[in-house]
Structure 1
Amino acid sequence: MMLRMDRWAKDMMIDRDRRDQQDALTGTVTMPAMRRFVEAALDLSEPMGPGVALLAIGIDGLDGLLAQYGPQLADAALLGVADRLRGGLRTHDLVGRLPEGFCVCIAEALSAHAQGTAERLRQLLEATPLESPRGPLTLRCSLGLALGRGPGSSAEELIGRARAALAAAQEAGGNQVVTSP
């Protein structure tokens, strides 16, 4: 019997009122909170059923925005991406902050669903310009996707594979999804 990762289970693992579990700028969860959530999602998944997908997401050209326009515009880009990610996911999926962008944990995901979600999010982020002090800003993002399943799987390893796939997507020119082997 598959145990469903519902909103209640997510709320039990993440206390949104604790400041140490929430990124001050974007309101997404911190990496320690994300690691706990991913670990729990992996433990709830079954070796032969749907798994856990982790997306690492980087904003292409964010360093250039920061250098050219300053931290206010870069922060606006981060806030806009966080809002769009939360709006483009199921209620029991979780958005967290990485130093290089964001990560998303998609609990109970089949490979095709995870790949479809990654591409849909990439297109959503590109197709919806952000309002900024400099006018509408079109952002492109690179995404790294890693899949895991079953109790005993490592959240740290899954996050590491997603981040490596993100680096590969950025090195290949950005604005694409790369899946970890």
Structure 2
Amino acid sequence: MSQPTPFEASAMRILVAEDDPITRKLILRTLSELDQQVLVAEDGQEAWEIYQRERPELIVTDWLMPGIDGLELVERICAANAERTLKPYILMLTAKNETADLKAGFDQGASEFISKPFQPIELIARIRVGISNQKLARELEQARRLSEQQALTDALTGLNNRRALLELLRVDEDRALRGRQPLSVILTDVDRFKAVNDDFGHNTGDQVLKVVSDALRAGVRSGDHVGRWGGEEFLMLLPNTDLIQAAEVAERCRALLTRQQVQAEDGRMLRVSASFGVASADGVARPDVMELVSQADRALYWAKEAGRNRVKIYVASADPERRRA
């Protein structure tokens, strides 16, 4: 009974729940004027099962049905969407016209009512209003998600920005603690980046940052996170990864970068390199991600001191500041 009618990919899904065959046939004939996918249920139980499986955006339901009636169906559907931003548009058909009944329907989550018997032109008009509302809700939700994504994305490189990385650090810190898993951080700094900006201009500097971001994105594994930490500095967050594995990822990224060149605005070719600092928590003690970042920063400093374009791992015994403490 739930076979969809032909529809375009952008069509709305409309669930019709009506136990009376004559009324159901009238509804379907009326809805055939619209280019939408229609799912059909002969009672409330079947409608609920279809809803859970298909998640239609619009529901047309009778109030009085055997088993699960329209009011209970509305209650279940609204409860299933309590945490969702996009909620279905629910149109109830009923011969009830008492204010208390209509209030009960609205309280459960119905969007609109049509009194029985109804005119097809009225049903079409109400459905079109529902479709318009749902399309607008879709657009608003897409705009909201895009805005959230942009707020967490570095505009130049398309990577996670610092705000996004801080949130990912918190999430992976909690996950590592619960699973007693290792967690590693890699800090990367573009070598002699100030000289690139001074000698070749900021447009060339931006191209260098894009090349670095592409190499880091290619060098990390599925499940790793990479983002721009600030300026010419990038951070990689590697869940469930020990120090040796993280160093291998850093070396792979470094090697990828050494094969990259950037053409300056004056035509000269620049070779790109970066230094990497790696730190890891073993999964035994609670990982402190900001301490990991600090340790990776120390290792990055050692890589710069050793001549740049290399990977250094943080070892506490090699840290003079740690020894002094």
| TM norm. shorter chain > 0.5 | yes
CA drift at 1:48:
8.4
1:68-107 deviations in whole A, cap 9, x for unaligned?
Answer: 0110000000011101111122121111112242111111
Deviation of the 1:111 alpha carbon: 2.2
The yes-or-no answer on 1:166 pairing with 2:300 is: yes
Instruction: State the Cα distance separating 1:175 from its structure 2 match.
Output: 0.9
1:163: Cα distance to partner? 1.6
SS at match of 1:18: helix
Larger Rg: 2
Distance change (3 Å), C-alpha of 1:155 and 1:32: farther
In the aligned structure 1, how far is the partner of 2:240 from the partner of 2:221?
11
- Structure 1: distance between partners of 2:282 and 2:293: 13
* One-letter code aligned to 2:239: A
Whether contact under 8 Å (1:54, 1:105) holds in the other structure is yes
- 1:40 to 2:171 alignment: yes
Shift of 1:122: 0.8
3-state SS, counterpart of residue 159 of structure 2: coil
Residue 278 of structure 2 contacts residue 314 of structure 2 at CA under 8 Å; is this kept in 1? yes
Q: In structure 1, how many angstroms separate the alpha carbons of the residues matched to 2:263 and 2:226?
A: 21
Q: Where does residue 12 of structure 1 map in the other structure?
A: none
Cα deviation per residue 1:140-170 (whole Å; 9 max; x = unaligned)?
Answer: 1100101125484222111121122112211
Kindly provide the amino acid, as one letter, of the partner of residue 201 in structure 2. G
Structure 1 residue aligned with 2:192: 61
Pairing 1:45-124 to 2, within 5 Å after superposition? 45=176, 50-99=181-230, 100-124=232-256
Contact 1:46 1:149 in 2 (8 A): no
Runs (5+) with no aligned partner, structure 2 = 1-144, 316-325
Show the counterpart of 1:139: 272
After TM superposition, give the deviation of residue 19 of structure 1 in Å: 2.1
What letter corresponds to residue 176 of structure 1 in structure 2? Answer: R
1:47 deviation in Å?
A: 8.1
The question of 1:148 aligning with 2:284 is answered no
TM-score (norm 2): 0.47
Q: Secondary structure at the match of 1:121?
A: helix
| Equivalent pair of 2:177/2:286 in contact (CA under 8 Å) | no
What's the secondary structure of 2:270's corresponding residue? coil
- Contact 1:141–1:175 (CA<8 Å) still a contact in 2? yes
Aligned residues: 167
8 A contact 1:42–1:51 mirrored in 2: no
Q: Distance in 1 between matches of 2:307 and 2:196?
A: 17
Separation of aligned partners in 1, 2:313 and 2:188: 12
Answer with 57-66 or 164-173: which moved more. Answer: 164-173
Equivalent pair of 2:200/2:264 in contact (CA under 8 Å): no
Q: Which moved more, 1:159-168 or 1:65-74?
A: 159-168
Q: 1:18 is matched by which residue type in structure 2?
A: Q
Q: Provide the aligned C-alpha RMSD in A.
A: 2.2
How far residue 135 of structure 1 moved from its aligned partner, in angstroms, is 4.7
Q: Residue 31 of structure 1 is aligned with which of 141, 153, 162?
A: 162
* Percent pairwise identity: 28
Give, in whole Å, the separation in 1 of the partners of 2:178 and 2:305. 33
Kindly state the Cα deviation for residue 49 of structure 1 after the two structures are TM-superposed.
Answer: 5.6
Residues 42 and 149 of structure 1 are in contact (CA less than 8 Å); yes or no, is this contact kept in structure 2?
no
For 1:24, what is the secondary structure of its paired residue? coil
Alpha-carbon distance in structure 2 between the residues aligned to 1:48 and 1:165: 26
Q: Which moved more, 1:72-81 or 1:16-25?
A: 16-25
> Could you say which residue in structure 1 is the equivalent of 2:149?
18
TM-score by length of 1: 0.82
Matched residue SS, 2:240: strand
